[in-house]
Amino acid sequence: MRIADIPTPALVVDLAAMTRNIERMAAFFRTGPCRLRPHFKAHKTPEIARRQLAAGGCTGLTCATVGEAERAADLCDDILLANEPVGPGKCERLGALARRVAVTVAVDSTAALEAIAAAATRAGVTIGVLVDVNVGQMRCGVAPGDEALRLARRVAGTKGIALRGLMGYEGHLQPVADRAEREAGAHRAMEGLVATARRLRETGLPCDIVSAGGTGTYDISGRIEGITEIQAGSYVLMDSDYGRLDVPFEQAFWVLGTVISRPDPTRSVADCGHKAMTKDHGLPTVRGIEGAIVAALNDEHAMIALPAGASLNVGDRIYLRPSHTDPTINLHDVLYAVEDDAVIDVWPIAARGYPEHRYPSSARTARNSTDGQSRQPRPV
Ligand SMILES: Cc1ncc(COP(=O)(O)O)c(C=O)c1O
pLDDT in tens, 303-352: 999 999 999 999 999 999 999 999 999 999 999 999 999 999 999 999 99
**Residues near 103 by beta carbon (within 8 Å), at least 6 away in sequence:** 69, 79, 81, 94, 97, 125, 127, 128
* Distance set, CA 163 to CA 199, 200, 212, 368 (Å): 14, 10, 17, 49
Closest CA to 274 of 248, 298, 294, 303: 298
263: CA distance to ligand 1 center in Å?
41
Q: Are residues 211 and 63 part of one domain?
A: yes
Q: Which atom of ligand 1 is nearest to the CA of 83?
A: 1
Last residue of a domain, one of 166, 201, 236: 236
pLDDT value for 363: 62
Residue 317 lies in a domain: yes
Residues near ligand 1 (Cβ within 6 A):
39, 42, 82, 169, 171, 174, 214-215, 231-234
The predicted model scores a pTM of 0.94
Q: Are residues 72 and 216 part of one domain?
A: yes
25: CA distance to ligand 1 center in Å?
15
Q: Which helix (H) or strand (E) holds 62?
A: strand 61-63
**Domain ranges, residue 286:** 253-348
Kindly tell me if the per-residue pLDDT of 20 is higher than 50.
yes
| CATH number for the domain that contains residue 284 | 2.40.37.20
Q: Are residues 207 and 93 part of one domain?
A: yes
pLDDT value for 100: 97
Percent of the chain topping pLDDT 90: 93
What confidence tens digit (pLDDT) does each residue in 283-301 have?
999 999 999 999 999 999 9
Kindly tell me if the per-residue pLDDT of 227 is higher than 80.
yes
pLDDT value for 369: 53
Give the integer Cα–Cα distance in Å for 36 and 228. 9
DSSP 98: T
Q: Are residues 318 and 180 part of one domain?
A: no
Q: Are residues 97 and 228 part of one domain?
A: yes
| pLDDT confidence bin for 183, thresholds 50/70/90 | very high
Which of 21, 29, 36, 39 maximizes ligand 1 atoms within 8 Å of its Cβ, making it the mutation to test the pocket?
39
pLDDT value for 359: 75
Residue 341 lies in a domain: yes
Q: Are residues 195 and 73 part of one domain?
A: yes
| pLDDT confidence bin for 367, thresholds 50/70/90 | low
Residue 96 lies in a domain: yes
Which of 169, 190, 238, 326 maximizes ligand 1 atoms within 8 Å of its Cβ, making it the mutation to test the pocket?
169
Vertex 331: Cα angle to 328 and 332 (nearest 5): 105
Residue 358 lies in a domain: no
Last residue of a domain, one of 209, 236, 263: 236
pLDDT value for 156: 98
**Residues near 154 by beta carbon (within 8 Å), at least 6 away in sequence:** 110, 113
pLDDT value for 379: 44
Kindly tell me if the per-residue pLDDT of 178 is higher than 80.
yes
pLDDT value for 119: 98
Residue 203 lies in a domain: yes
Q: Going by DSSP bridges, is the β-strand pair 267-270/253-264 parallel, antiparallel, or unpaired?
A: antiparallel
Q: Are residues 52 and 121 part of one domain?
A: yes
Give the integer Cα–Cα distance in Å for 105 and 78. 11
Closest CA to 38 of 346, 339, 249: 249
Closest CA to 237 of 368, 27, 48: 48
Please report, to the nearest 10 degrees, the dihedral formed by the alpha carbons of residues 325, 328, 330, 334 taken in order: -100
36: CA distance to ligand 1 center in Å?
12
pLDDT value for 361: 65
Residue 213 lies in a domain: yes
Q: Are residues 198 and 277 part of one domain?
A: no
Q: Which atom of ligand 1 is nearest to the CA of 231?
A: 4
Residue 375 lies in a domain: no
Q: Mean pLDDT, the chain, as a whole number?
A: 95
Q: Are residues 311 and 222 part of one domain?
A: no
Q: CB-side exposure of 284: number of CA atoms within 13 Å?
A: 32
Kindly tell me if the per-residue pLDDT of 195 is higher than 80.
yes
Residue 242 lies in a domain: no
| Burial class of residue 56 (count of CB atoms within 10 Å of its CB; 0-12, 13-18, 19+) | middle
Last residue of a domain, one of 236, 270, 287: 236
pLDDT value for 377: 45
Q: Are residues 330 and 280 part of one domain?
A: yes
Give the integer Cα–Cα distance in Å for 347 and 350. 8
44: CA distance to ligand 1 center in Å?
13
Q: Which atom of ligand 1 is nearest to the CA of 325?
A: 10
| CATH number for the domain that contains residue 105 | 3.20.20.10
Kindly tell me if the per-residue pLDDT of 356 is higher than 90.
no
Percent of the chain topping pLDDT 70: 94
Vertex 140: Cα angle to 143 and 239 (nearest 5): 125
Q: Are residues 260 and 223 part of one domain?
A: no
What confidence tens digit (pLDDT) does each residue in 47-102 have?
999 999 999 999 999 999 999 999 999 999 999 999 999 999 999 999 999 999 99
63: CA distance to ligand 1 center in Å?
9
Query: Which of 28-34's residues contact partners 24+ apart within 8 Å by CB, and which partners?
Result: 28/57, 28/218, 28/219, 28/222, 29/56, 29/57, 29/58, 29/222, 29/230, 30/56, 30/57, 32/57, 33/228, 34/222, 34/223, 34/227, 34/228, 34/229, 34/230
**Residues near 189 by beta carbon (within 8 Å), at least 6 away in sequence:** 135, 136, 168, 170, 173, 212, 221
Give the integer Cα–Cα distance in Å for 246 and 217. 11
Q: Are residues 229 and 203 part of one domain?
A: yes
Overall domain count for the chain:
2
